[in-house]
Chain A
Amino acid sequence: MDTSLDFEISHRPDFALLTIRLAQGQQVFGEPSAMASMDTTIHLKAGLRGGLRRSLGRAFGGESLIVNTFSAKGGPGEVTMAPGVAGDVTHYKLHGQRLMLQRGAFVAHGPGVDITGKWQGARGFFSGEGLVLLQASGHGDLFFNSFGAILELDVADGFFVDTGYVVAFEDTLDYRVTVLPGLGVGSKVKSFLFGGEGLVCRFSGQGKVWIQTRTIHPFLSWVHPYRPQGRGGS
């Protein structure tokens, strides 16, 4: 049976909106609160999809325990979904391969796809991007979002990406967290402390990497001075 979804991603890349047209009986699974609009023919049900273990994995990967299931029970219909941050949404078709996703990057997936957390150990610790990454596996459609626009890159030999810019990568890629190579120890420490170019992911092997054109933390630092001062006592 063809599980492919009929979808459209509009308003790219900065405020992308994902529209999925479900045939009668078709289902799509989305992160909670991502739904922007839907037809009356669609039924929404929240639940722990994939059992407790996978749900906890998702929770550790920076997603919700809960996944919303949209079913076109009453006839064909449309669901639109919008991720929380301003940025792009990308589609990826899983044919039995696996994809690693940055924390919080998951938006929606079709039937046949599983999302869970994958312990990253020391790499996760040093990357500062969380100890657990999301892992998508199975067969079907996967949608993930970025902050800023998104670039798809094919890695052949080796490639460095600042840890904050990684959105997703295929799990055929070997990755390790490191400081930029080719510098003496002194320059490394200097570039780490003052250059702002701290830790990078070094990808090697064969596969694709998706990187975003902005990261959230510099944006938050930029916004911070404009925030109103908290009122006393509250």
Chain B
Amino acid sequence: MGPFDGGVFDKRLQGGRAGAQLTVDAHGVHASTTAGDTFDVPARDCQLELGGASGRMWFCRTPDRQLTIYSEARGFAEALASLPNLSQPVAELRRHRRAESRRGVLFLLAALGMLIALGIAGYFGLDYAGRAAIEALPREADERIGRLAINSMDLGGPTVHDKTVTDAVNAIVARLAEHAPGDFEYQVRVLDAETVNAFALPGGQIVVYTGLIAKAEALDEVAGVLAHEIAHVTQRHGLQRIAQSLGVAGSLELLLGDLGGLSAIAVELMRAGALTSYGRDQEREADEQGVLTMHASGLDADGIARFFQKLQKEQDEMEIPEIFAWMSSHPDLDERIANVRAQIDSLGPVAEQPLEIDWDAVRRAVGPDAEAAGSAAEADATEKAPEQNADSKAGSKAKRRKR
């Protein structure tokens, strides 16, 4: 059979090798080089090997290895296999080669899998490291960022000094703080603005707008909102937001303890209104923690669900008015109401210890006729006017209103 393109190794050749045309017959393998030399390996002497750069080259060697005839031409292996004493070695070598290439493929797949796993582990590892770094930061970091933030913000309304209102809100926060995890110190500000909003900054700065107080029919509703906001503080959601936007380099910086960069980022986020707009998971967590705090404080945790319902109803009834800011970043109210109620059911009955606050008086104090009634907010009324006229601030307000 043949001819096949191939070659010969032999000392007698110049350079020890030459290309050759091969034929295979019953006597063995024959090669003739272009120069006219001929070589033969008898079939009974032929020792087979499979290899070469391609892994598909067949070598037929004499027992003393002085002469080798080789080829990887198509059909050469079949021709060798047709010789009685070579059919078995050919089959064996082929089996061996197949097993080896299977091993190679498996190794390659394993290596690729490992690379992918390393990539994923690296990604999540950094994410985790960022979170861990946040956990490890002292409480002062939260406080510093909170102070920085509140001082660089346009809060959108004058501070209310009416003791009826501030005492009530302070009492609620004090009760909740007592039963909330962590030992943050809370500073509450009540601001006179129609927006139905409240927000918390890292470290315990809490801002409540009179619009929210006026909207709540019962103390427990406001308490529920405040418990939710306090949960954002205790779970350190603000710093987590910062960690998320830090990226890899920032996380590393944080791990090395560079708080200066952190503050700069906090202020940037503040400008973009991102520090107080939390992710859905964070909202869910704050809801849960808020319910737990309310429950532990002996307050009616259903207040938060009722407040959600109120917002839901208003939302359904009108084209989302600007003043309902507190829910604009709180989507899926139905789902959240259901979650809160399910959690309350699982907690069992609450030993209620209501706060001694005349809520109707508080609401009257922030009501539309509060100024006419001669409340202490009067002093701020003059500041209020330019604030409300400042259309140019509408953009920044809308962002902040995300709570």
Residues 25-63 of chain B: 1 if any A CB is under 8 Å from the residue's CB, otherwise 0?
000000001110000000000000101111101010000
A100 neighbours in B (Cβ, 8 Å): 53
B33 to A95, Cβ gap below 8 A?
A: yes
B18 to A96, Cβ gap below 8 A?
A: yes
B7 to A97, Cβ gap below 8 A?
A: yes
Known: A97-B19, A205-B59. A169 touches B53 (CB 8 A): yes
B17 to A97, Cβ gap below 8 A?
A: yes
Shortest Cβ distance from A162 into chain B, in angstroms?
Answer: 18
A122 to B18, Cβ gap below 8 A?
A: no
A93 at the interface (CB under 8 A from B): yes
B53 to A175, Cβ gap below 8 A?
A: yes
Chain B binding surface, main DSSP class: strand
B57 neighbours in A (Cβ, 8 Å): 171-172
B108 at the interface (CB under 8 A from A): yes
A175 neighbours in B (Cβ, 8 Å): 53
Known: A95-B18, A95-B19. A174 touches B53 (CB 8 A): yes
Chain A binding surface, main DSSP class: strand
Residues 143-175 of chain A: 1 if any B CB is under 8 Å from the residue's CB, otherwise 0?
000000000000000000000000001111111
Known: A94-B19, A97-B19, A139-B19. A174 touches B51 (CB 8 A): yes
Residues 170-195 of chain A: 1 if any B CB is under 8 Å from the residue's CB, otherwise 0?
11111100000000000000000000
B52 to A171, Cβ gap below 8 A?
A: yes
A122 to B34, Cβ gap below 8 A?
A: no
B53 to A173, Cβ gap below 8 A?
A: yes
Q: Which residues 61-99 in A have Cβ within 8 Å of B in the complex?
A: 93-97
Shortest Cβ distance from A20 into chain B, in angstroms?
Answer: 21
Cβ-closest chain B residue relative to A125: B108
A122 neighbours in B (Cβ, 8 Å): 104, 108
A172 to B15, Cβ gap below 8 A?
A: no
Q: How far is the CA of A174 from the CA of B72 in the complex (A)?
A: 13
A204 neighbours in B (Cβ, 8 Å): 51
B-side interface size class? 20 to 34
B285 neighbours in A (Cβ, 8 Å): none
A206 at the interface (CB under 8 A from B): yes
Known: A96-B7, A122-B104. A174 touches B34 (CB 8 A): no
A93 to B53, Cβ gap below 8 A?
A: no
Known: A171-B53, A171-B57, A173-B53. A96 touches B108 (CB 8 A): no
B180 neighbours in A (Cβ, 8 Å): none
Q: How far is the CA of A172 from the CA of B33 in the complex (A)?
A: 17
Q: How far is the CA of A25 from the CA of B19 in the complex (A)?
A: 26
B108 neighbours in A (Cβ, 8 Å): 122
A97 neighbours in B (Cβ, 8 Å): 7, 17-19
Residues 66-86 of chain B: 1 if any A CB is under 8 Å from the residue's CB, otherwise 0?
001010000000000000000
Q: How far is the CA of A139 from the CA of B33 in the complex (A)?
A: 11
A172 to B34, Cβ gap below 8 A?
A: no
A96 to B19, Cβ gap below 8 A?
A: yes
B9 at the interface (CB under 8 A from A): yes
Q: How far is the CA of A93 from the CA of B18 in the complex (A)?
A: 10
Q: How far is the CA of A94 from the CA of B59 in the complex (A)?
A: 19
Partner of A173, one of B15, B35, B52, B104: B52
Q: How far is the CA of A92 from the CA of B49 in the complex (A)?
A: 26
A171 neighbours in B (Cβ, 8 Å): 52-54, 57
Sample of 8 further A-B pairs with CB below 8 A, known A96-B7, A97-B7: A93-B15, A95-B18, A95-B33, A96-B33, A173-B52, A174-B51, A174-B52, A205-B59
* Partner-A contacts on B (CB < 8 A): 5-7, 9, 15, 17-21, 33-35, 49, 51-55, 57, 59, 68, 70, 104, 108
The 3 A-B residue pairs with the shortest CB-CB distance, nearest first, are A96-B19, A174-B51, A171-B53
Write 7 A-B pairs (CB below 8 A) sorted by A numbering: A93-B15, A95-B35, A96-B33, A172-B7, A172-B9, A205-B52, A206-B9
